[in-house]
Structure 1
Amino acid sequence: MFTSLQGRSAIVTGGSKGIGRGIAETFARAGVNVVITGRTGADIDRTVADLAGLPGTVTGVTADVASPEDCRRAVATAVERHGGLDIVCANAGIFPSASLAEMTPEDLDQVLGTNVKGTFYIVQAAVEPLTASGHGRVIITSSITGPVTGFPGWSHYGASKAAQLGFLRTAAIELARKKITVNAVLPGNILTEGLVEMGEQYMDQMKAAIPTGTLGTVADIGNAALFFATDEAAYITGQSLIVDGGQILPESAEALADL
């Protein structure tokens, strides 16, 4: 039985939709008071309304994690609303497609700005209140793409997700004496708006490549993040957890042929 997280304070960046929304909902169901960030006010308002009435409150702040000032403002908002900050879910990420041959400097800067710098900035902004918490938790949403696998058109995205894991290992060392843990969840193919936009054929191909034969849900990622936030996970830091239905296990399509 895990110690209750009721009343603790969290930020979930990119929490207005997709995996971030799933993380925010999972935490709020556990009684955590959550501030979500996003770049679009309408998306934030919709999510806040949809998640009203859960044991933990969900409120929002419009912020771009590529801006250090926005990250400091988001942290200050969580501290003001909840009296402190215990958990940071560095989840905000973008994945526009661009082949290596056609990728522009602007394409690269956009992805690295959100996915890599955004992780640095939100964690930097939160170090002081996480230290004051006495049980600070940083949970990064990385990906299997980059650290483990590759996919055409996502070289910039894959590089950004691998960079997050490089960041977490040193950050975990630097923050350990402050009683702050830093861990990452690496999702495989999760059923989100972004995946649906890639089309039915793509989703069917992905299902066929996964041993479970299913796509993951945002709750699957939320539950993994929630575990890292518990008191019982206090001795786990600098680690990454793959949540992918076994997607990275087969060495070829033939390995799944007889399932």
Structure 2
Amino acid sequence: MDFTGKTAIITGAAKGIGRGCAEILARGGANVVLADINLGMAREAERALTEEGLRAKAVQVDVKSVAEIEKMVRAADEAFGTVDILVNNAGIFHATPIEEITEQEWDNIVDINLKSVFFATQKVLPYMRKKKSGKIVNLSSLAGRNGGFTNGLGYSAAKAGIIGLTRGFAARLARDGINVNAVAPGSTDTGILDGLGEDGIRGLTEKIPLGRFGKTPEVASVVAFLCSEEAAFMTGAVVDVNGGMYFG
């Protein structure tokens, strides 16, 4: 997959799936903007890529803030002159029981996981519409497909909302030459589930037909494909990468 000359913004890019996406896109020739609330970790990722001779820029962003999302997009334009690809990856997990979820926790989960997807997409549209082309990939989840197993329902609701946004954007932006798709990973070995403890992780693994958690490159490679011209006839799709836990 060749991304030469393309500029990609990846939110939540300092680690995990986001960093994996940034790496594969950069190694394919893209200029990558590593957007993350943790600027120190984003700069470490930037340094690792630039030491390979690749083009990368770390940008701090709190995706709950529309103003900061606007700054992120402007920073990408100032650094590389355009925006061609957006990977909406930033997200947080919770496993709070139904009876214990507070309004504050619910709002935080939904703002980071769902609101950010809408507004990041909104803010890159002028750049993509000008070119009549663009690729947007949103990270949903198995929990957005089936409600999840161990996660809190704020997470399920937000990830299901991403699927709705993906299809809505795809229908509305197709005439602008913009492809919008989603990837719905199952349990992936990124550290996000560490809070479940050994018993929780063991029980979750037993539910996976392939008998293991996914690996970051296995998800990132699917995201990269959807960002590529090889996927030019795909829009509104939700690609499941979950070891057989959900077949759609």
Give the TM-score, by structure 2 length: 0.94
Contact 2:140 2:184 in 1 (8 A): yes
Q: 1:5: how far off?
A: 1.3
Unaligned runs of 5+ in 1: 250-259
1:116 corresponds in structure 2 to 114
Distance 1:235 1:56 in 2: 29
Q: 1:216: how far off?
A: 0.9
1:74 corresponds in structure 2 to 72
Contact 1:9 1:86 in 2 (8 A): yes
What's the % identity of the aligned pairs? 33
Contact 1:6 1:56 in 2 (8 A): no
Q: Give SS of 2:148's match.
A: coil
Contact 2:240 2:246 in 1 (8 A): no
Q: Give SS of 1:51's match.
A: helix
Contact 1:11 1:35 in 2 (8 A): yes
1:146-161 to structure 2, matched below 5 A, reads 146-161=144-159
Unaligned runs of 5+ in 2: none
1:7 corresponds in structure 2 to 5
Q: 1:124: how far off?
A: 0.4
AA in 2 matched with 1:165: I
Q: Structure 1 residue runs of 4+, over 4 Å off?
A: none
1:198-237 to structure 2, matched below 5 A, reads 198-237=196-235
Give the TM-score, by structure 1 length: 0.90
Contact 1:27 1:222 in 2 (8 A): no
1:139 corresponds in structure 2 to 137
Q: Identify the match of residue 184 of structure 1 among 162, 177, 182.
A: 182
Does residue 53 (structure 1) correspond to residue 55 (structure 2)? The answer is no
Q: Which has the higher helix share?
A: 2
AA in 2 matched with 1:119: V
1:164 corresponds in structure 2 to 162
Contact 1:67 1:121 in 2 (8 A): no
Q: 1:18: how far off?
A: 1.4
Distance 1:192 1:223 in 2: 15
AA in 2 matched with 1:99: P
Aligned residues: 247
AA in 1 matched with 2:217: A
Distance 2:30 2:184 in 1: 22
Distance 1:116 1:216 in 2: 23
